[in-house]
Chain A
Amino acid sequence: MSFVHLHVHTPFSFLDGASSTEALLRRARELGMEAMAVTDHDTLSGVVRFVQQARAAGIKPIVGAEVTLEGGYHLVLLARNRTGYANLCRILTDAHLSAPRRHPRARWEVIARHADGLIALTGCHRGELSARLIRGQTEQARQALARMQEAFGAHLFVELQDLRWPHSRWLVHRLEALAREAGVPVVATNDVHYARKADFPVHDVLSCVRTRTTLEQVHPERPLNAEQYLKSTQEMAALFEGLPEALHNTVRIAQMCDDDVLPLGERLFPAYPDVPPGMTAMELLRRFVEEGARARYGHVTPAIRQRLEHELAIIEALGVADYFLVARDIVQFARSRGIRTSGRGSAADSAVAYVLFLTDVDAIGRGLLFERFLSLERAQKPDIDLDFDARRRDEVAAYVYRRFGPERVASVATYNTFQARSALREIGKALGYPEPELDDLARRFPHIPADAIRRAAASLPELRRSGLLHPAPGASGHRYELLFDLAEAVAGFPRHLGTHLGGLVIGDRPITEVMPLQQAAKGVTVAQFDKDDVEAMGFIKLDLLSLRMLGAVDDAVRLIGRGEGASGDRGGGHGGGGFSYERIPLDDPATYRMLGEGETVGVFQLESPAQRALQSRLGPRHIEDIVASVALIRPGPIKGNMVEPFLARRKGLQSVPPLHPALERILKKTYGVVLFQEQVIEIATAVAGFTPGEADRLRRAMTHFRSQQEMESIGQLFVERALERGVSPELARTIFSYIVAYAGYGFCEAHAAAFATTAYKTAYLLRHYPAEFYAALLNNQPMGFYPPHTLVTEARRRGVAVLGPDVNESEADYQVVRGAGPSGAPAIRVPLRVLRHLGEAGARALLDERARAGPYRSLEDLCRRVPLPRDALESLIASGALDRLHPNRRALLWALPSVLQAARRGQRAEPDGPDAQGELGLRGQEGPPGGQALQLEDFSPFEKLVLELEAMGFSPDKHLLAFLRPSLQRRGILTTQQARRRPRGAWVQVAGLAIRPHRPPTRSGRTVVFLTLEDEEGLLDVTLFEPVYLRYGHVVFTRPALVVSGRLERRDGAVSLTASAVEALPLTPP
């Protein structure tokens, strides 16, 4: 007797599946099963990987879903063939889009209309038949069965489950009788939710998370026992001893289902809609390329033409001309609307992409290798990533929906999976731990996968030394043993479906024929498949990404434009026709000087402590240095130890070994270091005669696969091929070892080049227009590496005054005020919208009213004209936004209740008049007696600082450390700038706010923590090596301000502090 499980839930049933698809398939294989179905609740999200993994495991995949019907009943639908699969997609889409979000309900008329190709099983105890029989509604059960029979005919089976619940046997007998009476066959299932019996606790605790209960609470949806595992054929046979046909029918159903119901690998991308009659897409693309080449290069040389032809031939052979036309169409739209855009990723390896204005990297000029992007041998789908100004990306997406039809476009899903913090929080709550305790525990974990919890708990000092993990009295372990076990067990399980940041698919047919759609947050319709799934299906994904830096650039350019002429010549790049971002010179000495000083806070891609240190050491002189910089500070190159050889060779301190003339040419720009992935391909092509496609396969094998055996086999091939080309065996082996050492760590040059241009240009903006640039960065928060208070500190340090918010001066965004800074320099004015409790809406109301009826004259005037909540008004006062209406913030806060009351009564607390601003309307009932408030002593500067921090998160003109300075000075603690002036090796103590402590990957694998100390004078980067981190990690990661003792490091101009001790800095008033 054989048996096939036809009702199985994976973690894609979202909190109702407790074993991974891999674990289920592994178990099915162990049990000798030849087929298995997956039937998640109302989704096909898990089926692509299920089908792929099942095939790899030699198990026939059966694709299905357990749909929830109107009335809450369950029904299992299995796809017999592709028609059935498409119908299942339609049914699920309708269920999601016709019901409230997260509560899909499949409509019977839709099911009946799309029953073709589907097999229906009547469902678990929540199926309509079971539910009605349990309620004693036999006649209604009979009618329901007749309805199902009418829809599915011979493809309907009455589902029998014996889950060893109190009524299981009774229900099996009743269902069997009902089926026999109607002439419907029966089938046995086990409503599987996990692979093994031992996995039950995971299912139970996930059920608690789902039902928002704790283990101690009773809930009807919690499983009663541990019977819903993948039972063996023998176990199922024992349960259905008297019903062999119920077992036999599982095999029959499996045989009825085709092997390939999922249309994997089909071409689903649409034809470009605007190809003129009589023309092919390829011909149109050629025309655009020709026009674009003339626009980009002016004169199209034979070399340029040859390269373009080479690319076009591959594009034609792969049949992806339409994809390029669609991408061009979208970029043209953005440009026509003034939406800043740029391409990133390996698409920048393409000269065609460059001349179509999809990217801004001259692939020919840079000698970039097209095969890194597309090759005939690899025949993979192209992947063009386009960045757009984050504030306008949705305009572009909306255009795509309009252009190609809303039914043919969908956002791609992402699955938010359980990570350490989320697993601890959610599982811990189900176990009954108080939320504050869980929050404290979870926050001590870095952002790591949930299955790394125990390893982290054993190694991280902020956890080991927290006291949280000490064994409970009389117990063998600490109080989180069970929590850690369960949290690790759900590692990587999808928690809920989200929307990919930029991924869109465009189909040549309605999307719902190929994959179900559902609603995501913010009313967006999203596919149930993620980016890997859609690509496996045959879609070509277009990434339309939001890049806040493009918004910042746009703002900066606008602010500069407004100030043109007002501030004189403050840099190059705007000859005659005013400033042009596009015409920024790439060889500005002042910009390179600034980069070489590591003064890059705010610069795109170059602002992290590691990048700032690299810039100081590198002393970049041209754009190639920036391209290398972008590629060097990445986990790969750092782990691969590329940074030091690169720097040493560039400075001539280390010679480049002369191995082969080809290498000399290929590696010239990176000083003999294999830094870019493109270089691996070129070396393999030049030395061993690999075709570009073969060479890229080598690169990918090295990048993704670390098997020694495979490496040796590739090495063998490399050496053999090199020998054929006259290279000596010894040299061939040396060259191979050379690329092996680096290949896996390399970075895509095209991507680095695409980012490097923006990096350089933003550095230029910072150097010549710091006020405009920092104002623009502040306008586009959150973005970049540093919080707003660090940007404000940096702006001040560069001589850009930051003016506090002012109810009569501030605008909607950060503005540059000409001549308001020291010596007439431009200053930045803080907008009202950043104020807590006021927000965009409150700020808008204030600005509109000011535009309508003029400046505000007093607090009373303001309260009368704009109805704002009290906390928003308090925020205005606390931030100093009303200082010019009245200079005493304490008095204003004191008067606020009575002023508000009077305003709400529509009365005037004080007659209007020229002196109204001094009177404060103090004659109200709740406020102090008239006049007294004026005598109230105002807040101290320190108190004002605290109020500003609460209201805005920063102070425009004060720094916390400045107030603590006298006491710090008494202790001999230096400012960041004093420390920077000390000689190398000097022992110093420095205090500051701890900015972004983080542990990037290191070459040695040991933990090194980097952070930045911020004080009133600037920044100082700090390094904690492992022994110091192990001792002080619990302080570093939990306290906002620190005193760090250690030795000053100076390395080629990069200054940092190597910590030997750390203590928390108490933030008490002076």
Chain B
Amino acid sequence: MAAVSRRVQEPVEVLGPLGPCGTQTPGAVIVWRRRRLRVLECLAEWYEAGRWWEGETERRFVRVLTEAGIYELSHDASTGRWQMDRILD
């Protein structure tokens, strides 16, 4: 059964380390829309080059299992900012 997902692309705050993939991430918390989502597990992790020809830098993506569901977030190392990208229902 294919998962349904919604694209979001909003800034998000991440407290504590996320990853590496396949590990429990005790203590990591995502703060999104004033909600605190406790991360249970990092399901996947990957890197994307993005639109390098427009000056974008590489982003790290993580798919995490939280108490409230599965989310995909990305991190821009050049700014240190996290972004909520996708919600998988």
Q: Which residues of A contact B (CB under 8 A)?
A: 164-170, 173, 200-201, 204, 215, 223-227, 431, 482
Given known A-B contacts A224-B46, A224-B48, A225-B47, A166 and B58 have beta carbons under 8 A apart:
no
Our pick among B44, B45, B49 for the contact of A223 (Cβ within 8 Å) is B49
A200 pairs with B53, CB closer than 8 A:
no
Residues of B38-80 contacting chain A, CB below 8 A: 44-49, 51-53, 58, 61, 63
CA distance A391 to B52 in the complex (A): 51
A166 pairs with B61, CB closer than 8 A:
yes
**A225's closest neighbor in chain B, by CB?**
B47
- A826 CB to nearest B CB, Å: 64
B44 pairs with A169, CB closer than 8 A:
yes
A225 pairs with B46, CB closer than 8 A:
yes
CA distance A170 to B47 in the complex (A): 15
13 residue pairs A–B, Cβ–Cβ below 8 Å: A164-B45, A166-B63, A167-B44, A169-B44, A170-B44, A200-B49, A223-B49, A224-B48, A225-B46, A225-B47, A225-B48, A225-B49, A482-B53
B21 pairs with A224, CB closer than 8 A:
no
CA distance A165 to B49 in the complex (A): 11
Our pick among A167, A169, A204, A482 for the contact of B49 (Cβ within 8 Å) is A204
B47 pairs with A169, CB closer than 8 A:
no
Hey, which chain A residues are within 8 Å of B16, CB to CB?
Answer: none
**B22 at interface (Cβ–Cβ under 8 A)?**
yes
CA distance A477 to B67 in the complex (A): 50
**A172's closest neighbor in chain B, by CB?**
B22
B53 pairs with A215, CB closer than 8 A:
yes
- A135 CB to nearest B CB, Å: 15
Q: Which of A164, A168, A170 has the most CB of B within 10 A?
A: A164
A224 pairs with B53, CB closer than 8 A:
no
CA distance A115 to B46 in the complex (A): 36
B52 pairs with A165, CB closer than 8 A:
no
A225 pairs with B44, CB closer than 8 A:
no
CA distance A201 to B51 in the complex (A): 10
B49 pairs with A224, CB closer than 8 A:
yes
- B75 CB to nearest A CB, Å: 13
- A969 CB to nearest B CB, Å: 56
**B61's closest neighbor in chain A, by CB?**
A166
- A202 CB to nearest B CB, Å: 11
Q: Which of A169, A204, A223 has the most CB of B within 10 A?
A: A169
Hey, which chain A residues are within 8 Å of B46, CB to CB?
Answer: 164-166, 168, 224-225
Hey, which chain A residues are within 8 Å of B49, CB to CB?
Answer: 200, 204, 223-226
CA distance A22 to B89 in the complex (A): 50
- B49 CB to nearest A CB, Å: 5
- B21 CB to nearest A CB, Å: 5
Hey, which chain B residues are within 8 Å of A166, CB to CB?
Answer: 44, 46, 61, 63
Hey, which chain B residues are within 8 Å of A226, CB to CB?
Answer: 47, 49, 58
- B19 CB to nearest A CB, Å: 10
B58 pairs with A225, CB closer than 8 A:
yes
- B72 CB to nearest A CB, Å: 10
B47 pairs with A204, CB closer than 8 A:
no
- A1019 CB to nearest B CB, Å: 49
CA distance A227 to B51 in the complex (A): 16
Q: Which of A165, A170, A225, A227 has the most CB of B within 10 A?
A: A225
Hey, which chain A residues are within 8 Å of B51, CB to CB?
Answer: 215
Hey, which chain B residues are within 8 Å of A223, CB to CB?
Answer: 49
Hey, which chain A residues are within 8 Å of B52, CB to CB?
Answer: 200-201, 204
**A215's closest neighbor in chain B, by CB?**
B53
Hey, which chain A residues are within 8 Å of B53, CB to CB?
Answer: 201, 215, 431, 482
CA distance A173 to B21 in the complex (A): 12
Given known A-B contacts A224-B49, A225-B49, A226-B49, A169 and B21 have beta carbons under 8 A apart:
yes
- B82 CB to nearest A CB, Å: 18
Given known A-B contacts A200-B52, A201-B52, A482-B53, A169 and B45 have beta carbons under 8 A apart:
yes
Our pick among A164, A173, A201, A215 for the contact of B47 (Cβ within 8 Å) is A164
CA distance A165 to B45 in the complex (A): 7
